[in-house]
Amino acid sequence: GYNIIIFFIITHLMSILGKLKPWNPSIPYEILSLNISSKLSTNSHAIKESSKDFGKIIQEILPAAVLYPSCVNDIIDLIQFSYDLSVPFHVAAKGHGHSIRGQAMAKNGVIVEMSSLNNNNNDNCGVRVSWDSDLGFYADVGGEQLWIDVLRSTLEYGLAPVSWTDYLYLTVGGTLSNAGISGQTFRYGPQISNVHEMDVITGKGELMTCSKDMNSELFFGVLGGLGQFGIITRARIVLDKAPTRVKWVRMLYDDFSKFTKDQEHLISIHNNGLDYVEGSLMMEQSSLNNWRSSFYSPSNQTKIASLLSKNKIMYCLEIVKYYDDQNANTIDKKLKKLVKGLKYVGGFMFKKDVSFVEFLNRVRSGELELQSKGMWDVPHPWLNLFVPKSSIMHFNAAVFVDIILRQNKTTGPILVYPTSRKRWDDRMSAMIPEEETFYCVGLLHSSSGYNECKILDNQNEEILNYCDKVGLNIKQYLPHYKTKEDWIKHFGKKWNIFQQRKDLFDPKMILSPGQRIFN
Ligand code: FAD
């Protein structure tokens, strides 16, 4: 009682002084009688910061408060409190806020800053490496952990996860809510296929352990579940022996058909194949060394630029083979065998030999460089798609050549690489095309400001409309839709189960409202 009165007086005085936002009526004052009251903030700065994301497109979706949990129980208390109300408020876990369109925001609700679990509280999970005879090596990691920290901790044991994203400053909870894809996905599956078990706090405020065999509806629902069924507080991740070095190769193509045939061939090699296969577009206007990684020496850049002035659009196939001291003698021979017969433009193969960590963390140096120039914290109208193999030639002609090259508005890397359905479990929430092989396409635009952002977003809209009109059967990755009909279409035959799982695990629709599926 006293707590509430004192808090009320202080907040009232501070809001008069302009230090705090007035108390938001969506959250009852009684929340201040909970143990978590000292970890809740309604400070305007905290509110503003927690409602920012990497996309910088959605603005001013402000929560009523921000929770800085010091342990898992704090999140349970918060959700249970909301669940027991006749009009519950929304709760969104915010990992590293690297969403594009407000997916981790919660208007008038509470944002849970997951990073504050990363303190030295011994009850929290952190990163713990173990072994057992059934699973082999694995790591129990907190949902708030950044993948870069998972990498650093597991490497202390000479181990590492097998499936990655291109960029490592993303949280485990954030990528498992989508899929977590990169050039390793064809071989090991997405990150969601490399999880043995999770602890999840549901929308009823219940902490549940789940796996394929235990609470499996929750397990499969949460993987790729866009934060709709629970907050992941621990995930048990598959580990393998870590290599120490990698051979990293890029080859340039002037023909999309040859490029994709070679990519498809490379991902089909099962024994002693590659560890990573990606690819990207190169256009005269795009810089050769972009933030995704600086790769080419100045003299090679000149050589490539002259080729690009003849071919307005080129394709870059990027591959990696891991190795370590034991097979250092044979690695070049193995690699030579793998690239034999590939149809890149003669003389346009470029190689690097770097450490495993340098390769996995390749995006970081580009990020720091852009940050120093004030070019990282800008609007990012990204569009990520999965394109079925049977549509990719059509997609190249209509989208890459006809829309993107012709309109000449592109301002960032464009990724295109194939992967396989084999390692995706259809019981998971993540949506992919029906075909066995499909392409991951990422239009990773940066814009100088809101006007340019709008122009690029119109281009994204044009691409989506075109694909829809001619029936290319694409799926959005990191999906964003404005209407429920679009979501129903996105999930297709999985919509019913998605909805049933929502009724089971978050019946009051409390969690991750920023995805705008049920809210
Ligand atoms: P947030 O943006 O904080 O949250 C994303 C969603 O997940 C929200 O709905 C949030 O409420 C929910 N959420 C967050 N934490 C939890 C949790 N613990 N439990 C349940 N739900 C939770 N993706 C790839 O697959 N491959 C890539 O190579 C890749 N590269 C990227 C590079 C950059 C520079 C950026 C900005 C993004 C990239 N992404 C990539 C996309 C990225 O994986 C997703 O945007 C991911 O959601 C970001 O993680 P986050 O921790 O920042 O999540």
Q: Is 481 exposed, middle or buried (0-12, 13-18, 19+ CB in 10 A)?
A: middle
Closest ligand 1 atom to residue 95 Cα is 3
Alpha carbon 343 to its chain centroid, in Å, reads 32
pLDDT reported for residue 18: 47
User: Would you call 278 a catalytic residue per the annotation?
Assistant: yes
Query: In which residue ranges of the chain is CATH 3.40.462.10 found?
Result: 245-374, 378-480
ipTM above 0.95, yes or no: yes
pLDDT reported for residue 120: 86
- For residue 11, the CA-to-ligand 1 centroid distance in Å is 33
Helix 495-505 vs helix 484-491: angle between axes, to the nearest 10 degrees? 110
- How many Å apart are CA 519 and CA 513, to the nearest integer? 6
- Start-to-end Cα distance in the chain: 34
- How many Å apart are CA 76 and CA 518, to the nearest integer? 22
User: Would you call 166 a catalytic residue per the annotation?
Assistant: yes
- How many Å apart are CA 220 and CA 112, to the nearest integer? 23
Which residues does the chain have with pLDDT short of 70?
A: 1, 3-4, 7-8, 10-21, 285, 287-289, 291-293
Query: In which residue ranges of the chain is CATH 3.30.43.10 found?
Result: 2-117
What distances in angstroms separate CA 420 from CA 77, 141, 152, 436, one per listed residue? Answer: 41, 27, 29, 6
What letter would DSSP give residue 243? Answer: P
Q: Which of 512, 517, 432 is nearest to 483 (CA)?
A: 517
For 42, what's the count of Cα atoms within 13 Å in the CB-facing half-sphere? Answer: 23
Q: What fold is seen in the domain 245-374?
A: Vanillyl-alcohol Oxidase; Chain A, domain 3 (3.40.462)
- How many Å apart are CA 290 and CA 294, to the nearest integer? 6
- How many Å apart are CA 143 and CA 190, to the nearest integer? 17
Structure tokens at 348: 């346009």
Geometric angle at alpha carbon 105, from 100 and 109, rounded to 5°? 175
- Is 2-117 in CATH node 1.10.3720.10? no
* Span 369-394, pLDDT tens digits: 999 998 899 999 999 999 999 999 99
Q: What is the CATH number of domain 378-480?
A: 3.40.462.10
Q: Which residue is catalytic, options 149, 166, 264, 275?
A: 166
Place of tokens 């706090």: 201
- For residue 99, the CA-to-ligand 1 centroid distance in Å is 6
> What three-state secondary structure class fits 209?
strand
Largest CA distance in the chain: 78
For 128, what's the count of Cα atoms within 13 Å in the CB-facing half-sphere? Answer: 12
User: Would you call 49 a catalytic residue per the annotation?
Assistant: no
* Exposure letters 126-163 (e unless 16+ CB within 10 A, then b): bbebeeeeeeebbbbbbbbbbbbbbbebbeeeebbbbb
Structure tokens at 68: 């800085």
pLDDT reported for residue 271: 86
pLDDT reported for residue 495: 98
Q: Which residue is catalytic, options 275, 278, 318, 457?
A: 278
Structure tokens at 220: 């499969």
Among protein residues, the one with the nearest Cα to ligand 1's atom 21 is 227
- How many Å apart are CA 333 and CA 273, to the nearest integer? 13
Q: 99 in ligand 1 pocket by Cβ < 6 Å?
A: yes
Q: Which of 368, 367, 319, 356 is nearest to 151 (CA)?
A: 356
Q: What fold is seen in the domain 127-242?
A: 3.30.465
- For residue 478, the CA-to-ligand 1 centroid distance in Å is 8
Q: 117 in ligand 1 pocket by Cβ < 6 Å?
A: no
Pairing of strands 437-443, 313-323: unpaired
Note whether 125 and 141 are within 8 A (CB): yes
pLDDT reported for residue 23: 83
Query: In which residue ranges of the chain is CATH 3.30.465.10 found?
Result: 127-242
- How many Å apart are CA 146 and CA 115, to the nearest integer? 9
- How many Å apart are CA 129 and CA 135, to the nearest integer? 12
Single-letter amino acid code for the residue at 9: I
> What three-state secondary structure class fits 161?
strand
